[in-house]
Structure formats: structure tokens, C-alpha cells
Chains A and B, each alone.
Chain A
Amino acid sequence: MLDPAARRELARLITRLANAGTQEVLAEPPPAITKPARRIGFTGPPGAGKSTLVGRYVERRASAGCTVAVLGIDPASPYSGGAILGDRVRMDDAAGNPRVFMRSVSSRDAFDGLCNNVADILLALDARGFDEIVMETVGVGQAEHAVKALVDTVVLLMQPETGDGIQALKAGILEVADVIVISKSDMPGAARMRENVAGTVRFGARRSAGWDVPVIGVSSEAGTGFEELEAALAKHAAWAGAHRDAGETQAMRTRYRLQDLLIRRLETVLDELAAAEVNAASPAALYDRVVSLLGR
């Protein structure tokens, strides 16, 4: 459990990391991690009920004695760069728990539904010895694929009456989910949605990898389905521990971190190119020019 001074110090470190440029973040000393936290990512479309569900889930875990860090990511305004970070409004009880550290961050320049230097922020949280780190994504764009690289278990939320099983199949996001939650399961249409999604998942690629993706109905409003969700997460943790290669997971996270840094470096380089230069050159010549600028 963190005392006020440690909370303040961690809070400031996260601010520094979130603001750091690519060179600054590379210059940060790697944090010492003695006991890696279990990382769970919650994703799903805006309005699916992520914040409320995460709030309830975290409150339950904290009441059971776990220490939990929550990273809630909300979108930045493309016009002003500012953001309204409102995840806390729905996480009242959890956020007040002494075993919980909660931080809201803006997605800023990240277009994958996460935030700048998210890999480093997660490592900083990991170094504090939390039992669990829960990350909530913006829920749009390619969040599912990015979050997959960084967490142990991806929970995908879908709400009732948002299309049938084919819609879910088309979206292509079912492949990354380790656990699927049909949220607001007290609403009409939830049972049918659950059947549809379960029917689709049954034929998915994950099954052949040896993990049966559970589809669980959860109602944050009624407080139902949480035991089932916790059981599914525990089962997935055990499965992942037995079947996933730790070296491969580590490599995947490092690759994501590199990709994140390189994309931002690339954006800086592209911003440096004047319009006249861009319009005058062929795509092939521009490509070569950008590659050489990257190598500077």
C-alpha cells in the first residue's frame, strides 16, 4: 500500500513520463521490477460501460486484499489537444480505496487508443509492486491490438443491441479478446447478444490455440456476473502461465515500445518536410528522404 508521499512521487513520475519526448524517455533508467503485476486491459466501444465496470471490478479486488493500479485513458480533443478525463466519475468507490492508485491520462498523440509512453508508464507502475494493473483504453481505433501487446489478459466489452454475431465477426476484434463481457446484461437483448457472440467465438482462431474464450454477461448496475468474470480472469491467468512463452511476451512488449517511439520520431520527421518539398518530389524519392532523415 502506498503512503501519501509515495503516491505523490509516483504521480509525478507518471506526469514526467507522459510528457517525455522520445530521447528523454530512452534516457530514463529502467525501473527495477521484483514482482510483475498481473496486467488486465479493458477495451470496447465508447459507452459500452468500461469505466463503471472497471470501477466495480477494482473495488471488489481491493476489498479482497489486492493492491490495484488503474490507468484510465480518455481521448484528447483533436482541436485543442485538451481532454476531459472523466473515468473517475464512474469509479468513485474504487478510487477512494487505500489499496487503489488511480490515474487518468489523455491519449494525446497516440492514435492506437492508448497514450504517449504507455509502455513506460506501465513499467513504472509495475515497479511499485501492485498485485494488478488495470488499463482502460479509449475504446476506438486499433486499441485492441495495441493493448494486446501490453497486458496479460484482454477483456473486450460489448453492449446489448449493437448488432448481431456477424457484426462481431466483421469487426475482427474478437480475435484479440481473451475474455468477452456482454455489459449491461440486465438490459433487453443481452441474452441474445451473448448467444450470438458465443456462437461466433466458438469458430474463432483462439479456440485452436487452446483457449476457449468465455462470453460473460455482467451488469454493473445490478452487480451481477462479477464472480464469473473474476473466475474467468483467474482461469485465463493460469492458462497463460502454462501456455505462453515468457520470452515471446517480453519481446512483444519491447517491440510495441519501439514501435511507439519510432512512430513519434517519424511524425516529427514528417512535420519537418515543407509542403513545397513534398509536392515536388516523387513518393519514392520522399520515402528515401524520410528514411535518411530518420537515420540522422
Chain B
Amino acid sequence: MSLTGKRILVAKPGLDGHDVGAKVIALALRDAGAEVIYTGLRKTPDYIARVAIEEDVDAVGLSILSGSHLELVRETQRFLREFKGENIKIFVGGTIPKEDNEALREAGASGIFNASQRIDEVLAEIDTLLSAPA
């Protein structure tokens, strides 16, 4: 598996202030060869989508612990479409109840991860999703 040459934005939308998970994922992605752009805390979906366009990323990973995952994924997807970044994939991770998975996929999430998953599983899934044709 290699994410060499892939550019991935790791972003923290919404109001929760914990970014250990985001940083763990960012480092793991780097160690898999990806170029990872990190936004810092408390960014709006509008801002995240703009950054994704300017940085020309292959995917945006949203780390959300606040419970507003559905709304934030939907909004990020809406802005990405508005800025013509519809080819940019969205992943979401954090505290996400399984029963929300289907709604999240409908809202635009290609991959949904939770804290009980092993990092190498997460990386393998991201690799598979990014290798698939857009």
C-alpha cells in the first residue's frame, strides 16, 4: 500500500476542541507517503472546502467528535460541489454511531472510521478509495 503523491486535507470542522485523533491520522497518512495538510481547530465547512480546492487535494478527512457529523459532512460536500471540487472524496472519523453510517454516505462520505479501528485498516481503506477511479 502506498499513498505516495496523494494530497489529503485533515480538517476539524465544528466546535469540539480535541485534535489528537486528527493528528494521529495525519502522522499515519504521512508515514504512508501522503502529503497531509492540516487546518487546525474549529473551521467552517466553507473554509475547509476552499482550502481543499487551493491545495488541490485528493481527499478531505473530517475529524468530528461533537455529534454534528451529519450536518458538517453535508455542508462540506455542498461547498465542495459549489467550488467545483466534486471529485474530492470525503472521509469522516470520530465518535460516530453506526446507525448514522447510511445517512453519512448519502450526505457524501466515502469512508467512515471510528476510534476502535486499527490504523492500518483505516489506511488500507483510504488507499482503496483513492485508487478507485473518480
Contacts and interface: CB of A to CB of B under 8 A. Distances in A.
Contact of B39 (A80, A83, A88, A101): A88
Interface in A98-149: 101-104, 106
A176 B89 CA distance: 43
Contact of A84 (B26, B51, B82): B26
Interface residues of B, number: 29
B53 A4 contact: yes
A253 B42 CA distance: 41
B33 to A, nearest CB: 5
Contact of A89 (B3, B31, B39, B85): B39
Given A8-B84, A15-B7, A96-B47, A85 B36 contact: yes
A96 B50 contact: yes
Given A4-B83, A89-B39, A96-B50, A82 B34 contact: yes
Q: How large is the interface on A (under 10, 10 to 19, 20 to 34, 35 or more residues)?
A: 20 to 34
Interface string B62-87: 00000000000000000000111100
B4 interface: yes
Nearest to A83: B35
B27 interface: yes
Contacts, number: 77
A92 interface: yes
Given A4-B84, A89-B38, A106-B35, A84 B27 contact: yes
A81 interface: yes
Nearest to B53: A8
Given A80-B33, A82-B34, 18 more contacts: A8-B56, A14-B56, A15-B7, A19-B5, A79-B31, A80-B31, A81-B4, A82-B3, A82-B31, A82-B32, A83-B36, A84-B26, A85-B38, A95-B51, A96-B47, A102-B54, A103-B55, A104-B37
8 contacts: A7-B53, A14-B56, A82-B35, A83-B30, A83-B36, A85-B55, A103-B54, A106-B35
